[in-house]
Amino acid sequence: MPLRHPQLNEKGELRHLLTIEGLPRELIHHILDTAASFVGVSDRDVKKVPLLRGKSVFNLFFENSTRTRTTFEIAAKRLSADVVNLNIDTSSTSKGESLLDTIDNLVAMHADMFVVRHAESGAPFLIAQHIDRMRGRGHVHVVNAGDGRHAHPTQGLLDMYTIRHFKGDFTRLRVAIVGDVLHSRVARSDIHALTTLGVPEVRVIGPRTLLPGGLEQMGVRVFTSMREGLRDVDVVITLRLQNERMRGALLPSAQEYFKQYGLTQDKLALAAPGCIVMHPGPMNRGVEIDSAVADGEQAVILDQVTFGIAVRMAVMSILAQS
């Protein structure tokens, strides 16, 4: 399925943010630089800038995610936007047609931005494509806040912000992504971002049953042994193990998974000195990560959250200017 869609306008500016795949390196750095200017805003006494004043941001959550919705809501409010939350039960909008009728309606209310979360891969693309086909009417920007197994670009960007913040130069790094890569939109977004930013060695570690095919063609080194894969890496990105996997046929048990792939201090000692530990949240402590690591000195998991607000403010403000 080709999920490509021109995210950039004819001047090369960001018109929608749908996926990191295909984003030019300079544009990613521009987003990260803009985010850097917003990190201070959330530290101030009055955490607000008027960049989106009088704009209407709609959080369209076809899949429930309080955490992600909150990050976008707070980012939009700190930009002074008016935010409307819509939790749309997909059971009542099963037909693709009625999804687009919903979109037509919200566009007609003169929305400025849609933050879209959807259980089906490609839904934000479909929406962006539909908007761009409207002549004259459609000036709405679409931000993909996670679609199925496909992409979660703002998570990928905040991961890059975090790595750049702690490690500086991307071109000398070894980065390992650990866990359920097969079902992870975060992994997919991170791999595209790391590759684009020139990371020379991207590794993936996990059990065969949770690794998709075609990783080598993406320039990724594949490991099934945690100890081998972690050796000398500068960054470890631990993925969340979905509860349904633990009970499913793909894994023996959560205990067994932890024994082999759970990130412990012991295994982390194999990484390079100063290696940072990341996790997109929410964590399953004792499954994919040990509490001693999650709360340890090398973890930058809460920094990711803080930077995530700034990155979402950056994306929204850049979109609003295009």
**b/e string for 20-43 if b means 16 or more Cβ within 10 A?**
bbebeeebbebbbebbbebbebbe
Sign, CA torsion 6/12/15/16: positive
Give the whole-angstrom CA distance, residue 58 versus residue 157: 21
Q: 82-87 and 220-223: which strand pairing?
A: unpaired
Is 288 near a second copy (CB under 8 A)? Answer: no
- Closest distance to a second copy from the beta carbon of 158 (Å): 11
Closer of 109 and 119 to a second copy (Cβ): 109
For residues 110-169, which are near a second copy according to CB under 8 A? 110, 137
Rg, the chain, Cα only: 19
Closer of 9 and 98 to a second copy (Cβ): 98
Is 55 near a second copy (CB under 8 A)? Answer: yes
- Closest distance to a second copy from the beta carbon of 211 (Å): 27
How big is the site for a second copy, counted in residues (CB under 8 A)? 48
Note the maximum CA span of the chain.
59
- Closest distance to a second copy from the beta carbon of 185 (Å): 19
Closer of 87 and 129 to a second copy (Cβ): 87
- Closest distance to a second copy from the beta carbon of 66 (Å): 6
- Closest distance to a second copy from the beta carbon of 301 (Å): 8
- Binding-site member from 119, 269, 272, 302 for a second copy (CB under 8 A): 302
Helix (H, G, I), strand (E, B) or coil at 193: helix
Taking residue 211's Cβ as centre, other Cβ atoms within 10 Å add up to: 20
Is 270 near a second copy (CB under 8 A)? Answer: no
Helix residue ranges, H only, 41-87 = 66-78
- Closest distance to a second copy from the beta carbon of 45 (Å): 7
- Binding-site member from 5, 78, 152, 164 for a second copy (CB under 8 A): 78
Amino acid type, 321: Q
Amino acid type, 26: E
Scanning 15-23, 86-94, 191-199, 215-223 for contacts with a second copy by CB under 8 A, the matching segment is 86-94
- Closest distance to a second copy from the beta carbon of 259 (Å): 20
Closer of 148 and 281 to a second copy (Cβ): 281
Residues 6+ apart with CB under 8 A from 105: none
Give the whole-angstrom CA distance, residue 136 versus residue 142: 17
- Closest distance to a second copy from the beta carbon of 147 (Å): 20
Amino acid type, 4: R
247: exposed, middle or buried (Cβ count in 10 Å: 0-12, 13-18, 19+): exposed
Is 265 near a second copy (CB under 8 A)? Answer: no
Binding stretches for a second copy (CB under 8 A): 42-48, 53-56, 58, 66-67, 70-71, 73-74, 77-78, 82, 84, 86-88, 97-98, 101-102, 104-110, 137, 281-283, 285, 291, 302-303, 305-306, 308-309
